[in-house]
Structure 1
C-alpha cells in the first residue's frame, strides 16, 4: 500500500473517532484509460473535506458535491460507474472515453478501519472483505501481496505496508536512484559499511545503515514487497547481499555491471551454493536498455525494470540491457561483414 492510500484510511479512522460521517470510495474496475489504478481510495467527510483521489479531479468534485448536498445518507455500500457515455467521459475528465467503477461505502466504527490501520502500520498484510448487502467488513491475514476483487456482492481489498527497497552502496548513482525511489513511495534503506561514502550521504527520506550487506538483508526479513539493488561494483559487498537476497521472496534482486562482470558474478554466486533457480532471479546487468550513460539515466533504467517487475510485467529480452546489447553487436558485425 502506498502512503497516499494509507493516509486515506488513517484520516477515515480519525474522522470516525471524532464523530464525523465518512464515505470511503474505492476504484474497483476500469475500462480504457483511467487516471488512477484499481484499489485507489478517496475518503469524503460529511462536510466535504476530502483526502485521496480516484480520478483527475472531476469525479472527486462530483462526489464532494453529492455529499455536501445530501450528506452521507446511504446506509449500505453501493457500486457506481462514471464515464459510460462519451459525454460523461468528457465531463469527468476520463481520457479516451474511459470508464471507472467505484464502490461507495459509508463507514462506521464497526467498519474496522482503525484496526486495519493498526495492522498495516505493524507490518502485517491484511485482506478486508466487505459485504455489499450488509456493510459488514471482515479482516483476515492475506496471502497475496496486492489485489482487488469485486463481484457485485463482496469487495476484497489487500492492504499492507509500503514497498521497501534495499540499496547496496552509497555512491553517486545511489543518490539519484534513491531520490527517484522515494518519489515512487518506496521505504528506502541504503547499506554501505564504507565510512568515506556514508559520511556524505544526505538523501532525504532514506535510512542509511553501516552494517555488512548480508547482515542487513537478514535483519530486514525481506518479503514479496521488497527489492534489492547492488550498486557498489565491489564483489565483497555486492555478492554478500545478493547471496542472501536471492534466497528471499523479494520481487526484484538486481546488480549493476557489464555483461562480463555479470557472468563472473553468477559464477561466484554459484560457489555460495545458490541453485540455478535462485540465480535465474538475478537481474543483471540491471535495467532496461535506453542508451543510458549518466548516473541519472542509469537510475531511470534500473527503476523502469524494477517497476515492471513490481507490476507483474514481463519484459521482452530485447528491452533488457544484456539482450539489447547483444543484438546491437550482432547487427554491427553483420554490417561489418557486408562491407568487406
Structure 2
C-alpha cells in the first residue's frame, strides 16, 4: 500500500467518524489497457465526495451516481465490471477497449481499518481478507508476496510499509534522484557524513538526511525486500562501505554510479570485504538503464526506471541494461 492509498483509508475513517456512509472500491482485475492497476483504491461518500481513483476518471461518475442511489454495495460487498463490451468501453472512455473489475465494500467498524493502519505505521506487512458473502474482514501477517487475490468470493489485499531508498551522497544527482523517488512513493534517506553536502536537504519533503557513516546507516536501517540503495559519491571510502553491507541484505536493488571499469574495480575491492560472488551478482553497476543519459536529471530518470523494472520483476538482461558497448567512462560527477 502506497502513501496515497494510506491517505484514502485515513480519509475514509474521518468521514465515518463524522457520520457518513462510505463505500470502498478496489480494482481487482483488468483486461486490456487500464489506467489504474489492481489494488488501486477509491472511497465514495454518501453525498458523492470521493478520494482516490479507480480508472483515472473513466468510470468514477457512474460509480458515484450508483453508490449514491444505493444500487451498489448497500449492505454487503459486491463486484462490478466495466467495459465488458466495446460499446460500454467507449461509453466510459476506457482506453483500447479495456475492462476493469471492481469490488465495492460498505465500510464499518468491522472493516478493521484502524487495525490495518496501526500495522502499517508499525512497519508490518499484513494481508486483509474480505468475504463478499458476509462482509467479514480478517487481518494476518503476510510474508508470501504482495499479490492481490480475488476468486469471485474472497478478496485478499496486501498492505504494508512504503518502499525505502537510501542514497549515498548528497550531491546534485542525489537531489534529482530523491525528488523522483519521492514522487514514486519511496521514503528517501540521503546519507552523507560530509558537512559540505548538507545544505538544503532539510527543506526537501519526504527526504531524511543522515550524517552517519554509510555502513552504520545500512546496518541500522535493516534493509528489507522493500528497500533499495544507490551509491553515487564516486568515493570508495563512502560507496564501498554502504555496498558491502547492502549486498548482504534482501534489498531488491543495490546500485553504484560509475563506468564499467570503475565498477569492475569496485567488485574486486568488495571481495576484500568478504562480499561473496553470489552477493556481488546483485550489484547493478553501471547503475541505471542505458538510455544515453548525460545530464543529472536524465541519469536520475534512468536509475529510477531500472529500480522500477527490478521491483516489477521485468527482465533486465535486454539492450537497455547492456553497458558492454558503452564508451562512457564517467556519467556524471556526484
TM category, shorter: over 0.9
Q: Distance in 1 between matches of 2:112 and 2:220?
A: 31
For the structure 1 residues 174 and 39, does the alpha-carbon distance in structure 2 shift closer, same or farther, using more than 3 Å as the test?
same
What are structure 1's unaligned runs of at least 5 residues? Answer: 329-340
What is the root-mean-square deviation of aligned Cα atoms in Å? 1.6
1:16-165 equivalence runs, <5 A: 16-70=16-70, 74-165=74-165
Maintained 8 Å contact 2:23/2:73: no
Q: Give the corresponding residue for 2:241.
A: 240
Which runs of 4 or more aligned residues in structure 1 lie more than 3 Å from their structure 2 counterparts after TM superposition?
200-204
C-alpha contact 2:190 2:209 (8 A) present in aligned 1: yes
CA distance in 2, matches of 1:126, 1:48: 30
Which residue does 1:218 correspond to in 2? 219
Q: Tell me what 1:304 maps to.
A: 305
Give the Å deviation of 1:319.
Answer: 1.3
Local SS of the residue matching 1:322? coil
* Distance apart, 1:149 and its partner CA: 0.5
- Separation of aligned partners in 2, 1:323 and 1:86: 46
For these two proteins, the number of residue pairs brought into alignment is: 327
Secondary structure of the residue that 1:253 maps to in structure 2? Answer: strand
State the Cα deviation string for residues 259-307 of structure 1 (Å, max 9, x = none).
Answer: 0000011111111111111110111111111111111111111111011
Which structure is higher in helix share? Answer: 1
Which residue matches 1:273?
274
- Which shows bigger deviation, 208-217 or 140-149? 140-149
SS in structure 2 at match of 1:243: helix
Task: Assess, with a 3 A threshold, how the Cα gap between structure 1 residues 243 and 85 changes in structure 2: closer, same or farther.
Answer: same
Most deviating of 228-237 and 115-124: 115-124
Contact kept, 8 Å, 2:83 with 2:92, in 1: the verdict is: yes
What is the rounded CA distance, in whole Å, between the counterparts of 1:322 and 1:268 in structure 2?
Answer: 21
Contact 2:229 2:255 in 1 (8 A): yes
User: Match of 2:188?
Assistant: 188
Q: Specify the SS of the correspondent of 2:216.
A: helix
Match of residue 205 from structure 2: 204
Q: CA deviation at 1:206?
A: 1.0
| 3-state SS in 1 of match to 2:51 | strand
Q: Distance in 2 between matches of 1:226 and 1:262?
A: 21
TM-score between both structures, scaled by the size of structure 2: 0.94
- Secondary structure of 2:288's aligned partner: coil
CA distance in 2, matches of 1:93, 1:112: 34
Helix, strand or coil: the match of 2:262? Answer: helix
Contact 1:56 1:93 in 2 (8 A): no
Indicate the SS of the match to 1:129. Answer: strand
1:199 counterpart SS class: coil
1:289 matched to 2:290? The reply is yes
User: Take 2:58 and 2:64, find their aligned partners in 1: how far apart are those partners?
Assistant: 10
CA contact (8 A) 1:27 1:38 kept: yes
- The aligned residue for residue 322 of structure 1 is 323
Distance 1:317 1:265, change over 3 A: farther
